Amino acid sequence: MVRITGKRISESTINRLSIYYRILESLEREGYQTVSSKDLAQREKLTPAQVRKDLSFFGQFGTRGLGYPVSELRRQIAEILGINKRWNVALVGIGNVGSALVSYKEFAKQGFQIKLIFDNDQRKIGSFHKGIEVHDVKNLKSLLNKNNIEIVILAVPASVAQLIIDEVVSAGVSAILSFAPANLRVPSNVTLRSVNMAMELEHLSFHLTNENLYYTA
Amino acid sequence: MVRITGKRISESTINRLSIYYRILESLEREGYQTVSSKDLAQREKLTPAQVRKDLSFFGQFGTRGLGYPVSELRRQIAEILGINKRWNVALVGIGNVGSALVSYKEFAKQGFQIKLIFDNDQRKIGSFHKGIEVHDVKNLKSLLNKNNIEIVILAVPASVAQLIIDEVVSAGVSAILSFAPANLRVPSNVTLRSVNMAMELEHLSFHLTNENLYYTA
């Protein structure tokens, strides 16, 4: 078990752990046994101190002068990120975004298995996407329960997003990823992560607008 | 002009500015004249101190006891984010993800106008998506230049992403949003933002795995 109790881990750190994981994976493929904080930092335009701080969540792990053991570090990060196991995922909404997500190979690779798809369009209900049947969103709650769904991905219009989230929450699911451009509310025991494509572009327009501004990673 | 010179602005702050902008927009629609840091904080599960710190980039702006003027603050955030103007955007790759992006209404609303689409699939070249013609990716560099494209969105397979990024950079574009699940490199004067859907899910699996862990926003 990774001992991380008592430490505070920010969302940015979680993000960097995901990135380190991917770097370690490719280093492992390339046959590397160890990696220094400097090398990890260079690949992500971070400072070695930042990398060491992030990896200190795993206790005294790297060896001064030798660096971190690649496979072992990758395995430990997988454990802390919870990607060393399989997660049952349901997708609500099979429009353009939903279709893109079902085809997204990296989900299954990282352990996220889309087991159920829901939609409210009668023409879509009963059809199959990548072998997964589309169910009527009317049966959302009962099917989430029956299939032990742990994570729900929402790719629905903003106008219905809160309604569906309330139902997902009432089904006992406590992890939701939303692509709906809406301000959504969940109880404090539920983790909601929203992806807003426009907000991603706003990072770029910010940098284009403030080119000479110092900013931190 | 917003005076922000000399301050360091983190990517998380930019993210929160985008969120404040959306809250202020809906407050404005609802007819509110002012908003307190406490109200802004509550809507995003932040502390009022964090909100005040973020908004301090705009100088002494709020009035103690009265709060921030909604319309004026919204306007100033739009200016700092660069969404008070129009940006010429090109999209490379019109598969599932690309199609979803072209249909994404919030882009145009925030000033991001997709002017050009590129693909390498002969069956797609010459077709139109939402009124925008699909061009041969062979002509990428010359068309980016001719159309003064400022931002490029990449929705291509990981295997060709770096190749296309190199070309985009050589065309003088310095802001790229990538949906390719790949480790990509750009010169230091170029801003690259990568959206990785699997990494978004890893935030959720992290929280599901470490339920009792303290973490910071």
Interface touch A201/B80, C-beta < 8 Å? no
| A193–chain B Cβ distance below 8 A for any pair | yes
Superfamily of domain B87-199: NAD(P)-binding Rossmann-like Domain (3.40.50.720)
pLDDT of residue A144: 98
Q: Could you check whether B11-81 and B87-199 share the same CATH topology?
A: no
Amino acid at B22: R
State the DSSP H helix or E strand holding residue A37, giving kind and residue range, or none if neither.
helix A37-43
Q: How far apart are CA A197 and CA B99, in angstroms?
A: 13
Q: How far apart are CA B94 and CA B105, in angstroms?
A: 16
Task: Give φ, ψ of B211 to 5 degrees.
Answer: -55, -35
| B148–chain A Cβ distance below 8 A for any pair | no
Per-10-residue mean pLDDT of chain B, 217 residues long, equals 54 88 93 92 83 78 76 93 96 92 90 97 97 97 97 94 97 94 86 90 91 53
Q: How far apart are CA A104 and CA A97, in angstroms?
A: 11
Q: How far apart are CA B51 and CA B187, in angstroms?
A: 33
User: Tens of pLDDT along A138-188?
Assistant: 999 999 999 999 999 999 988 999 999 999 999 999 999 999 877 788 998
Q: What's the mean pLDDT in A80-104?
A: 93
ipTM above 0.95, yes or no: no
Q: Where are the domains of chain B?
A: 11-81, 87-199
Question: Is pLDDT larger for residue A58 or for residue A30?
Answer: A30
Note the CATH number of domain B11-81.
Answer: 1.10.10.10
| A8–chain B Cβ distance below 8 A for any pair | yes
A46–chain B nearest CA distance, Å: 12
Q: How far apart are CA B12 and CA B20, in angstroms?
A: 12
Interface touch B150/A22, C-beta < 8 Å? no
Shortest CA distance from A108: residue in chain B = B198
State the DSSP H helix or E strand holding residue B167, giving kind and residue range, or none if neither.
helix B158-170
Q: How far apart are CA A6 and CA B4, in angstroms?
A: 36
Number of A/B CB contacts below 8 angstroms equals: 224
Q: How far apart are CA B77 and CA B61, in angstroms?
A: 12
Q: DSSP letter string over A60-78?
A: S-SBTTTBEEHHHHHHHHH
